[in-house]
């Protein structure tokens, strides 16, 4: 792969990852309510989902969703329902105070699974990767090394950005010095989760 192609890919990845979305919201709300360690677990789940989405796209699932209205609709409804449920749950969540050690216990597996579901909840992601990756692959060169490089770059970039977000947000929480501020953060993020779920329901399969 040419260096110029790889640098262009890096720029595209940066724009995609730095754009606000459900994964970033999940990272923020988890860091605010449960601290950086739990947020990093959620990030790990999301990154795992992204890697799975990329592999599914490479295996042709993206082409299936693009070709089948039924498959796309079923996947879309499942993803949107989860985002709306997560939005309502986040909106109604009460502040646990600024001491995460005294907060209601939250299992690490549950946090990881939440990140996994949020990362995999959008069928548009599969379609995006199905159309995105081929633009940077050289058909005359072996596919596996190229895919490994592109996928590894994306996963490393996303994990780094979300980890920095989790650590940064968790350090801002003590500055708030008010559980009321945390409640409003939950309400805003919960509303945005619900909005994203609703918008996902309105999306149509690209023709």
Longest CA span, the chain: 59
What percent of the chain has a predicted confidence (pLDDT) above 90? 3
Which residues make Cβ contacts (< 8 Å) with residue 198, sequence separation at least 6?
80, 84
Cβ proximity of 58 and 133 under 8 Å: yes
From residue 175, alpha-carbon distances to 97, 121, 172, 181 in Å are 12, 33, 5, 10
pLDDT at 77 over 50: yes
Residue 112's pLDDT is: 92
Residue among 91, 77, 83 nearest 114 (CA)? 83
Band (27; pLDDT cuts 50, 70, 90): confident
The pTM of the whole model exceeds 0.75: no
Mean pLDDT of the chain: 76
Mean pLDDT within 41-59: 84
How far is the C-alpha of 168 from the C-alpha of 173, rounded, in Å?
Answer: 9
Lowest-confidence segment of 54-58, 60-64, 169-173 by average pLDDT: 60-64
pLDDT at 95 over 60: no
Mean pLDDT within 81-103: 65
DSSP string, 153-168: HHHHHHHHHHHHHHHH
pLDDT at 88 over 60: yes
Tell me the pLDDT tens digit for each residue of 158-196.
Answer: 899 988 988 888 887 766 655 666 677 777 777 877 887
Residue 145's pLDDT is: 85
Tell me the pLDDT tens digit for each residue of 120-144.
Answer: 876 666 667 766 776 777 777 787 8
pLDDT at 30 over 70: yes
How far is the C-alpha of 137 from the C-alpha of 198, rounded, in Å?
Answer: 34
Band (97; pLDDT cuts 50, 70, 90): very low
Residue 202's pLDDT is: 77
What percent of the chain has a predicted confidence (pLDDT) above 70? 74
């Amino acid at each position: 792969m040419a260096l110029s192609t790889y640098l262009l890919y890096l720029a595209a990845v940066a724009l995609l990852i730095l754009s606000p979305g459900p994964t970033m919201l999940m990272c923020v709300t988890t860091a605010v309510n449960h601290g950086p360690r739990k947020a990093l677990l959620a990030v790990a789940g999301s990154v795992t989902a992204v890697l799975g989405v990329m592999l599914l796209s490479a295996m042709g699932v993206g082409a299936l969703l693009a070709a089948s209205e039924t498959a796309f609709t079923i996947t879309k409804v499942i993803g949107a329902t989860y985002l709306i449920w997560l939005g309502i749950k986040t909106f109604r969540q009460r502040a646990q105070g600024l001491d995460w050690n005294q907060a209601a216990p939250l299992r690490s597996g549950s946090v990881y699974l939440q990140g996994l579901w949020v990362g995999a909840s959008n069928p548009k992601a599969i379609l995006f990767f199905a159309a995105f990756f081929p633009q940077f692959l050289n058909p005359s060169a072996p596919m596996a090394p190229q895919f490994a490089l592109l996928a590894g770059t994306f996963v490393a970039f996303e994990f780094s950005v979300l980890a920095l977000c989790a650590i940064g947000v968790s350090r801002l929480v003590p500055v708030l010095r008010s559980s009321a501020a945390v409640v409003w953060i939950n309400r805003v993020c919960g509303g945005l989760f619900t909005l994203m779920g609703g918008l996902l329901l309105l999306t149509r399969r690209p023709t």
